C-alpha cells in the first residue's frame, strides 16, 4: 500500500465513496459498509473489513490508499485528561487531547502539523508549519481515540466521544478544504454522526475564511481574541497586522449565526499583558451586539516563551467585570497541565518546537502512567 497514492479512502466524503464503489460496479450497500468500517469502526486496514468480499478489497488496495495514524505516545493526567501523540504515514507527530467531564466527553483535534500563524505565546506557534493534515488524518484522530477509549473502558463502542473541538495544533481555517471534508465525514449519519451543535472550530481570526466557514458549514465558531487593543494583539498574534480588531469584530457581527447560537471568544489571560481591569472593560464593549460568550483561559506557562500566568484572583476579577456588564463569561479550567496537554502546550516533544530540545535538555519519559502505543 502506498499512502502517497490517490485517492486516500479515509479522506473521501460519503458521496465520493458512493461514486467510487459505483464505478467499481458494486451495489450501494457496499459503500455504506465501507464507510462504516472506515469511520464507525475505525478500521486501520482493508484486511479488517471482514464482510467485504476479498475481490473488492483487492481492487480497493490496487486503486486507493488507506493509512492509519499510529499511536506514538499516550499520557494520562491525574484529572482524567489523556493526550495522544500520533505518527502520520510520513513521520509527522500530531496530538489530540481527550477531556472527560460529567455529561460530555470531548476530543480536541489537530488540523495541521505545526502552525504558520506564529502567536508568540503558543507552543505550536514556535514550530512553524510543517504541513496541512488531510481530512483523513483529521477524522482518524477521532476514530483512533474512540477505539482506544473503548479499550480503556471509557465508554461504549463505537463512539464514547460526544463533542469535538478543533483547538489542537494548527489553524483550521488555513486548512479549510480538509477541515470541511472532515466535518462532512464526522457529521455523517452512517459515520461518526456527531451533532453540529457539539462541534466547535476555533480560529485565530482569518477574516476572509470566516465568511466562507459561516456559509459552508453549520458547526460552531470560536474566535481567539486574546487582546483588546491592536497594539497588544499584534504583539501576541502577528496576523492582527493583516486583520486588525475592527475587521475581525465586523466579520463576527456579519457571521451568519444559526438561531440560538453564539460565537465563543477565547481570551488567553497573560499576567501583566492583557489581564487588567481596563482590558475587561474594553472587552465588554467590544463584544456588545454580538451573540457571544467569552471563555477566559488562564495562560499555561510554556518554558522559554517569556509569558506568565495571571496573578491569583485576577481571572475572577476580570470575569466579574464582564459579568457585571452582562457579558456571559466562563473560566476554562486548565486540563492535563501535568502532561503538557493544556491549551497551547501542544508541540510534539523532541521536535523542532520543543524548547527542551533546543536547550539540549533531557528527553521526557515516554509515558507518565499510560502505556506506549
Residue whose C-alpha is closest to residue 18's, from 10, 26, 58: 26
Among 20, 67, 297, 341, binds ligand SAH (CB under 6 A): 297
Site string for ligand SF4, 195-224 (x = CB under 6 A): ---------x-------------------x
Answer for the pair 133, 94: CB distance below 8 angstroms, yes or no. yes
Give, as one character, the DSSP assignment of residue 219: S
Site string for ligand SAH, 50-89 (x = CB under 6 A): ----------------------------------------
Residue whose C-alpha is closest to residue 275's, from 228, 241, 234, 235: 228
Piece of the chain touching ligand SF4 by CB under 6 A; list 3-11, 54-62, 121-129, 334-342: 121-129
Radius of gyration of the chain, Cα coordinates, nearest whole angstrom = 21
Site for ligand SF4 in 20-49 (CB under 6 A): none
Q: What 3-state class would DSSP assign to 264?
A: strand
Total binding residues for ligand SAH by CB under 6 A?
A: 18
Complex with ligand SF4: residue 60 or 117, whichever CB lies closer: 117
The answer to whether 111 contacts ligand SF4 (rule: CB under 6 A) is: no
- The number of residues making up the chain comes to 373
Give one DSSP letter per residue of 122-181, joined into a string.
-TGGGG-EEEEPPHHHHHHHHHHHHHHHHHTTSS-TT----EEEE-SSS-GGGGHHHHHH
Query: Could you tell me the maximum CA-CA distance found in the chain, to the nearest angstrom?
Result: 68
Site string for ligand SAH, 217-236 (x = CB under 6 A): -------x-x----------
The answer to whether 264 contacts ligand SAH (rule: CB under 6 A) is: no
Site for ligand SAH in 314-353 (CB under 6 A): 343-345
The answer to whether 266 contacts ligand SAH (rule: CB under 6 A) is: yes
Q: Smallest gap, in angstroms, from Cβ of residue 215 to ligand SF4?
A: 22
Q: What 3-state class would DSSP assign to 105?
A: strand
- Residues 15, 9: Cα–Cα separation, whole Å: 12
The answer to whether 345 contacts ligand SF4 (rule: CB under 6 A) is: no
- Residues 266, 227: Cα–Cα separation, whole Å: 10
Burial of 173 (0-12, 13-18, 19+ CB in 10 A): buried
- Residues 10, 13: Cα–Cα separation, whole Å: 8
Residue of 26, 74, 95, 209 marked catalytic: 95
Piece of the chain touching ligand SF4 by CB under 6 A; list 35-43, 112-120, 176-184, 212-220: 112-120
Site for ligand SAH in 191-220 (CB under 6 A): 202-204
**316 a catalytic residue:** no
Q: Smallest gap, in angstroms, from Cβ of residue 85 to ligand SAH?
A: 17
- Residues 47, 105: Cα–Cα separation, whole Å: 30
Residue whose C-alpha is closest to residue 247's, from 297, 218, 210: 210
**343 a catalytic residue:** yes
Report in angstroms the alpha-carbon separations of 101 from 79, 293, 349: 10, 20, 26
Piece of the chain touching ligand SF4 by CB under 6 A; list 5-13, 84-92, 119-127, 330-338: 119-127
Give the residue numbers marked as catalytic: 95, 343
Chain residues in the site for ligand SAH (CB under 6 A)? 121-122, 167, 171, 202-204, 224, 226, 266, 268, 297, 299-300, 302, 343-345
Chain residues in the site for ligand SF4 (CB under 6 A)? 115, 117-119, 122, 124-125, 170-171, 204, 224, 344
Amino acid at each position: 500500500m502506498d499512502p502517497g497514492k490517490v485517492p486516500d479512502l479515509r479522506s473521501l466524503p460519503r458521496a465520493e465513496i458512493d461514486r467510487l464503489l459505483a464505478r467499481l460496479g458494486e451495489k450501494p450497500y457496499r459503500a455504506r459498509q465501507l464507510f462504516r468500517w472506515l469511520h464507525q469502526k475505525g478500521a486501520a486496514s482493508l484486511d479488517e473489513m471482514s464482510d467485504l468480499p476479498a475481490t473488492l478489497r483487492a481492487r480497493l488496495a490496487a486503486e486507493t490508499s488507506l493509512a492509519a495514524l499510529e499511536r506514538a505516545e499516550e499520557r494520562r493526567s491525574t484529572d482524567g485528561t489523556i493526550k495522544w501523540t500520533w505518527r502520520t504515514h510520513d513521520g509527522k507527530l500530531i496530538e489530540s487531547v481527550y477531556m472527560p467531564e460529567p455529561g460530555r466527553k470531548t476530543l480536541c483535534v489537530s488540523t495541521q502539523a505545526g502552525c504558520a500563524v506564529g502567536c508568540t505565546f503558543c507552543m505550536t506557534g514556535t514550530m512553524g508549519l510543517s504541513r496541512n493534515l488531510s481530512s483523513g488524518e483529521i477524522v482518524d484522530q477521532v476514530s483512533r481515540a474512540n477505539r482506544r477509549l473503548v479499550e480503556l473502558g471509557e465508554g461504549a463502542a463505537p463512539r464514547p466521544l460526544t463533542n469535538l473541538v478543533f483547538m489542537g495544533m494548527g489553524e483550521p481555517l488555513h486548512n479549510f478544504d480538509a477541515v470541511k471534508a472532515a466535518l462532512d465525514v464526522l457529521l455523517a449519519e452512517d459515520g461518526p454522526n456527531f451533532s453540529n451543535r457539539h462541534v466547535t472550530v476555533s480560529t485565530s481570526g482569518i477574516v476572509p475564511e470566516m465568511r466562507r466557514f459561516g456559509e459552508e458549514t453549520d458547526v460552531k465558531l470560536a474566535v481567539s481574541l486574546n487582546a483588546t487593543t491592536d497594539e497588544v494583539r499584534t504583539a501576541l498574534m502577528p496576523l492582527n497586522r493583516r486583520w486588525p480588531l475592527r475587521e475581525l469584530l465586523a466579520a463576527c457581527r456579519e457571521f451568519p449565526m444559526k438561531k440560538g447560537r453564539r460565537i465563543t471568544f477565547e481570551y488567553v489571560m497573560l499576567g501583566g499583558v492583557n489581564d487588567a481591569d481596563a482590558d475587561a472593560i474594553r472587552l465588554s464593549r467590544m463584544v456588545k451586539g454580538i451573540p457571544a460568550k467569552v471563555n477566559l483561559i488562564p495562560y499555561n506557562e510554556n518554558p522559554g516563551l517569556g509569558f506568565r500566568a495571571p496573578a491569583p484572583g485576577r481571572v475572577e476579577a476580570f470575569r466579574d467585570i464582564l459579568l457585571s456588564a452582562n457579558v456571559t463569561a466562563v473560566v476554562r479550567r486548565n486540563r492535563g497541565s501535568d502532561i503538557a496537554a493544556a491549551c497551547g502546550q501542544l508541540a510534539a516533544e523532541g521536535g523542532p518546537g520543543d524548547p527542551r530540545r533546543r536547550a539540549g535538555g533531557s528527553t521526557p519519559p515516554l509515558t507518565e502512567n499510560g502505556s506506549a502505543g
